[in-house]
């Protein structure tokens, strides 16, 4: 083995000086291929701790690779010392210098071979972490980045929302029974299918973004493959349940003269929707695969093509006198559209952008699922808790009468539409925070989280104000019944108040996902909704006679608790620990 002092190293050295200079103009770097941040005790008493640096600096980009470059010639004793001190255990001055210099420069050509990661597997340029000419990321930069990437996501979510709404608008004209059946089918598919896919795929929000930030495009593609397979396996028993939905739904639907026909139609809806779920799964996981690479506009482009096509398909398959199928045409249009979304996603990656993180199919996809499952299950609890709580509100309102149920539907529709904007911000914040954590920059991640939180409060306040100002117009849009409009307008202030906290909670949940703390998020959502919100709402509604506003007061109490608990969880965050966890992860 070479003498330790003769090993060529790509270090920036400030010899005999334990205090780091924080300006890059005072140091000179040399590039080698055996770089490693070794504890100072292993390099001699006067050997300075050193920072891996690139000879190809680009002031418009950021060096993001935080994975250590292991020197294969290090002896066992050295490796033990390294592991004892920790792969990511530089001193505070070292960590600060790492972050400050990383925010200045990007190694535009991957370097450094290791026993774990080849140079070819690293991202050569990561636009996610560009900070212009500034040595630090700034509030203004993070704000601009968040807004720019949230806009296409918000458009995406609005367009996805339109896919189901097209079914409601068309089937609603077939009759009340058909509208009730599509509502029951859509509610069932939303709780058991859509929420399942979205919840399980939250693991990719964390893993893909952190892997990309760490300069591991190979892991991004591998996590994507594992995520798709994991969700599809989990969906199988759910789809079997959909096929036999009438057996289960008859315990939910009230026994009325038309209930059997209602169950038959709802089961038909769900059986057709079975064919939508593979495409929906691939597209949802694919969105996260591209977002991790800072490609936010792709899903918007795809939906700009597919959403109008879905409207046309729905109309033709429901109403056309030659090929129209009536009720069944609505879910069939959704199934065709969802699979088209998946096909266009694949074509986009192949012919346009995103394939730098695709290394082809590999047998590794069947190994080491623990990191995904450990994040996917709590993520499912996070999403499912909220989805189900909303449906409990609607179910409770149905016992108050048709008029109150209609008013509840209007208020829920308003909040659902308004929610798409903060949800988009939460997704963008999740990706940004996860990328910075993967890049080994806890301070920058903390700043990005703070900016996102401030934006959430601002959006919540703005949306709530708009809802109050235009309450009459908004409620009139959903109904022509003056009695229903009057009730909805009377209680819309509860809807606006709820949305303020709902918007904040959506973004805070995104930050928590970016940290990789889905378990904490799952605990928060489940306890706040089902220990506080749902019991309080039901008690106020039925026992104390508050009716519809009682349900909303209960839900507001749950969201206030979610926001407080999330803020406390973020305040107690150990950002450096999340960096160590992210960079010790392998597939």
386-434 pLDDT, tens digit each: 888 888 888 888 788 778 888 888 888 888 888 989 999 999 999 999 9
Q: Residue for token digits 């026992």?
A: 543
Which parts of the chain have pLDDT scores under 50?
1-135
Query: Largest Cα–Cα distance in the chain?
Result: 89
How is residue 238 written in tokens? Answer: 């759910």
Q: Residue for token digits 């760490």?
A: 214
Q: What is the pLDDT of residues 130-173, one digit of tens each?
A: 443 334 678 889 999 999 999 999 999 989 888 888 887 777 77
Query: What is the spatial distance between Cα 75 and Cα 549, in angstroms, rounded to a whole number?
Result: 69
CB 95 within 8 A of CB 17: no
Q: Give me the pLDDT at residue 341, please.
A: 95
**Can you say whether residue 368 is alpha, beta or left, with left for phi > 0 and alpha for psi between -120 and 50 degrees?**
left
Q: Give me the pLDDT at residue 473, please.
A: 85
Q: Give me the pLDDT at residue 164, please.
A: 82
Query: What is the spatial distance between Cα 151 and Cα 136, in angstroms, rounded to a whole number?
Result: 25
- Residue 19 CB-density burial (10 A; 0-12 exposed, 13-18 middle, 19+ buried): exposed
- Residue 29 is given by DSSP the state -
CB 467 within 8 A of CB 499: yes
């Amino acid at each position: 083995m070479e003498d330790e002092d003769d090993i060529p190293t790509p270090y920036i050295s400030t010899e005999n000086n334990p205090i780091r200079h924080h300006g890059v103009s005072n140091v000179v770097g040399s590039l080698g291929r055996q770089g490693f941040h070794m504890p100072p005790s292993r390099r001699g008493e006067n050997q300075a701790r050193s920072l891996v640096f690139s000879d190809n600096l680009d002031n418009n980009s950021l060096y993001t690779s935080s994975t250590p470059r292991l020197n294969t010639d290090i002896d066992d004793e050295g490796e033990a010392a390294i592991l004892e001190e920790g792969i990511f255990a530089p001193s505070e001055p070292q960590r600060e210098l790492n972050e400050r210099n990383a925010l200045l420069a990007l190694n535009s050509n991957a370097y450094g071979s290791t026993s774990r990661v080849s140079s070819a597997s690293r991202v050569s340029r990561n636009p996610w972490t560009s900070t212009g000419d500034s040595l630090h990321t700034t509030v203004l930069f993070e704000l601009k980045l968040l807004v720019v990437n949230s806009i296409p996501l918000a458009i995406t979510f609005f367009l996805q929302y339109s896919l189901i709404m097209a079914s409601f608008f068309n089937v609603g004209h077939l009759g009340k029974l058909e509208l009730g059946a599509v509502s029951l089918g859509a509610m069932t598919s939303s709780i058991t299918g859509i929420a399942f896919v979205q919840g399980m795929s939250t693991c990719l929000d964390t893993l893909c973004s952190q892997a990309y930030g760490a300069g591991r495009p190979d892991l991004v593609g591998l996590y994507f493959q594992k995520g798709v397979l994991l969700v599809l396996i989990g969906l199988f028993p759910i789809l079997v349940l959909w096929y036999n939905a009438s057996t289960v739904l008859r315990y939910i639907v009230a026994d009325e003269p038309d209930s059997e026909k209602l169950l038959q139609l709802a089961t038909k809806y769900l059986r057709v929707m079975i064919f939508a779920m593979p495409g929906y799964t691939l597209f949802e996981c694919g969105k996260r695969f591209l977002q991790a690479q800072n490609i936010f506009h792709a899903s918007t482009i795809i939906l700009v093509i597919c959403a109008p096509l879905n409207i046309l398909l729905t109309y033709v398959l429901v109403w056309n006198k030659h090929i129209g199928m009536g009720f069944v045409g609505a879910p069939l249009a959704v199934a065709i559209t969802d699979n088209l979304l998946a096909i266009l996603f694949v074509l986009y990656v192949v012919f346009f952008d995103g394939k730098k993180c695709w290394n082809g199919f590999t047998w590794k996809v069947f190994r080491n699922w623990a990191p995904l499952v450990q994040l996917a299950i709590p993520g499912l609890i996070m999403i499912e808790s909220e989805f189900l709580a909303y449906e409990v509100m609607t179910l409770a309102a149905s016992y108050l009468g048709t008029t109150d149920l209609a008013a509840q539907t209007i208020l829920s529709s308003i909040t659902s539409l308004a929610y798409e904007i903060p949800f988009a911000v939460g997704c963008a914040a999740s990706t940004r925070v996860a990328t910075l954590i993967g890049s080994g920059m806890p301070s920058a991640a903390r700043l990005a989280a703070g900016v996102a939180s401030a934006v959430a409060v601002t959006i919540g306040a703005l949306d709530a104000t708009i809802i109050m100002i235009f309450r009459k117009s908004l409620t009139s849009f959903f109904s022509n019944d003056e009695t229903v409009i009057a009730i909805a307008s009377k209680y819309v202030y509860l809807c606006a108040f709820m949305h303020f906290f709902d918007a904040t909670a959506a973004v805070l949940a995104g930050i928590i996902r970016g940290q990789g703390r889905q378990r904490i998020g799952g605990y928060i959502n489940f306890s706040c909704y089902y220990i506080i919100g749902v019991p309080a709402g039901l008690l106020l509604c039925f026992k104390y006679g508050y009716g519809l506003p009682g349900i909303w007061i209960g839900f507001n109490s749950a969201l206030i608790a979610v926001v407080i608990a999330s803020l406390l969880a973020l305040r107690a965050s150990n950002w450096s620990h999340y960096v160590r966890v992210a960079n010790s992860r392998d597939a």
